[in-house]
Structure 1
């Protein structure tokens, strides 16, 4: 019988989606599930984006340029300049989601056996992208004790070797919600320049910064122009996860020429989704103001509720819409599955993402979960009530 590749065998399951079969079984039993496991916003997609597709009179759904529509890239560049990111349209490649942008970045700057340093916990799919690229992740652990702030630069230097090609950063962080300070970004810039490394910054949650704190892009540091690569997406900003439109951005022309070869190999990003994404750029600031106010309220409800549960420790996020909670359990994977298979409270339960899958270091984060506060306020309150009761029952 033909054999599966070692790469395929080593490809990790998604901690976010691997519990879906248990959720589907619970749903078939008639249970209502509050889904705290996935970053699918319930905020309405901007009407302009939806209308751009509904009212379009295209007669032939053709390919676009491999880099994406020039009109879209031009409008994207204008958006970035408003956010202190001075780039031009030819420094942007439109991708099929931020995921493809990350794959293009890894394919352009690493070879099999190379290493990338990533503060952990990190977006779980980085593990998958690294496996697919034959790249080794070198994790550097951040701590819930200080809200998952950037580890000391000296710790990064200890891990840099001749195989190190890049530092990958998610800012604001998924799954932690940590928003890196200007000083932390500048420290990373210095180490990248000192050791001639790339910094790949996943900035898809840029708009989600709370408490008056400003997001600082890696692309806003002029001296880092040849070292900085930014990954972005419309998924969260405009509540358009299903559009699957992202982009890769860099002022390094060699990186962009190389990434274009990967872009050409997959032909082009989806046409209708680009049309919607271009229209979404006309979304007024009021939309974002309302979204930030809503998520700030949700965050406060969630954090305050979790802090009242005995034995739970939680880091307070400054951005994105996730938090990491440490639970009074030995194995969060077992607990998350139990919630779906065996537990119910008035025929309701919750779904969380076990956090071990957001680490690269084995046996780390075993008692942690990632919670996405993408539910309405009343549903979040109910989900917290269910979690408190579930923990008491599970620990009996």
Structure 2
């Protein structure tokens, strides 16, 4: 009998989606589920994007350039300029989501067996993409006790070997919500230059920063031009997850030329989604301001509610729309299954993402969950109450 590949067997399950069968059963049983497990915003997509698709006059939905529409890339260049990032349209490659940008990046800069250092917990699909690219993720552990701040640069330096090709960060972070400071970015930049490494920054949550903080991009470090690679996406910024449009951004011409070969192999990013994404850039500044204000209010509601639950530990996210909560339990995977399958309050329950899937180190995060505060405040309060009552029952 033919067998699947060792690479296929090594591919991890999504910690975000692996509980779907339990959720489907709960819904078939008539339960309402508050989904805190996935970063699917309920914020409306900009009307400019919706209308651009509704009102387009295309007779044929054809291929685009493999790098994406030139007009879209030029508008993206103008968008970055507003954030003090000087980038030309030639430094941008439009991809099918930020996911494809990461896959193209790993394919362009690594060979099988190479290593990428990543602060953990990290976005779970980094591990999937590295497995697909036969690259080894080398974790450097950040801790909830200090809000998942950047580990000491010495900790990174200890992990560098001849096989190390890059350091990968998410800023602001998924799943922690941590926002790297300008000083921390400069420390990482100096390390990348010292050891001639790439520094990859996933900046898809750039707009979502709170408490007067500012996002500082690796692309603002001019000495890092040959080392910096940014992954970006419209999914979260414009509440357009289903559009599957992202981009890879770098001033390193060799990287961009290599990534283009991967882009040509998949032909082109989706045409209608590019039309929508280009139009989304025309959204007024008020769209960002109102969206950030909503997420900040939700963050405050969630964190305050979690802190009132005995035994729960949570850090205050400075960006994105996620937080990691440590629960007074032994196994968050079991608890997440149990709460969907066995627990209800007024025929309602909650779906969580066990945090162990956001770590590659064994036995890390096993009593933690990632919570996405993408629900309105009323629903968040209901969900927090369900978690509180569930923990009481579970620990009984």
Q: What is the TM-score when the length of structure 2 is the normalising length?
A: 1.00
Residue 345 of structure 1 aligns to a residue in which SS? coil
Instruction: Give ranges in structure 2 of 5+ residues lacking alignment.
Output: none
Aligned structure 1 segments of 4 or more residues deviating by more than 3 angstroms: none
Aligned to 2:236: 236
Aligned to 2:341: 341
Matches within 5 A, 1:300-311: 300-311=300-311
The whole-number CA distance in structure 1 between the counterparts of 2:174 and 2:3 is: 35
Aligned to 1:77: 77
Aligned to 2:220: 220
Deviations 1:102-131 (A, max 9, x none): 000000000000000000000000000000
Deviations 1:56-89 (A, max 9, x none): 1100110000000000000000100111111000
Aligned to 1:395: 395
1:39 equivalenced with 2:39 (yes/no): yes
The whole-number CA distance in structure 1 between the counterparts of 2:223 and 2:200 is: 15
The whole-number CA distance in structure 1 between the counterparts of 2:84 and 2:231 is: 16
The whole-number CA distance in structure 1 between the counterparts of 2:71 and 2:159 is: 42
The whole-number CA distance in structure 1 between the counterparts of 2:6 and 2:55 is: 47
Aligned to 1:247: 247
Aligned to 1:137: 137
Aligned to 2:359: 359
Deviations 1:343-363 (A, max 9, x none): 111111000000000001011
Matches within 5 A, 1:1-396: 1-396=1-396
The whole-number CA distance in structure 2 between the counterparts of 1:107 and 1:315 is: 35
The whole-number CA distance in structure 1 between the counterparts of 2:173 and 2:139 is: 15
The whole-number CA distance in structure 1 between the counterparts of 2:90 and 2:205 is: 23
The whole-number CA distance in structure 1 between the counterparts of 2:230 and 2:58 is: 32
The whole-number CA distance in structure 2 between the counterparts of 1:107 and 1:85 is: 25
Deviations 1:302-338 (A, max 9, x none): 0000000000000110000000000001000000000
Residue 63 of structure 1 aligns to a residue in which SS? coil
The whole-number CA distance in structure 1 between the counterparts of 2:42 and 2:345 is: 24
Measure how far apart 1:166 and its partner are.
0.1
The whole-number CA distance in structure 1 between the counterparts of 2:354 and 2:288 is: 30
Residue 341 of structure 1 aligns to a residue in which SS? helix
The whole-number CA distance in structure 1 between the counterparts of 2:4 and 2:252 is: 37
Residue 117 of structure 1 aligns to a residue in which SS? strand
Residue 26 of structure 1 aligns to a residue in which SS? helix
- Cα RMSD (Å): 0.4
The whole-number CA distance in structure 2 between the counterparts of 1:315 and 1:134 is: 33
Instruction: Give ranges in structure 1 of 5+ residues lacking alignment.
Output: none
The whole-number CA distance in structure 1 between the counterparts of 2:344 and 2:184 is: 44
Measure how far apart 1:10 and its partner are.
0.3
Residue 45 of structure 2 aligns to a residue in which SS? coil
Deviations 1:181-225 (A, max 9, x none): 000000000000000000010000000000010000011100000
Residue 257 of structure 2 aligns to a residue in which SS? helix
Residue 112 of structure 1 aligns to a residue in which SS? coil
Measure how far apart 1:24 and its partner are.
0.4
Residue 239 of structure 1 aligns to a residue in which SS? coil
Residue 108 of structure 2 aligns to a residue in which SS? helix
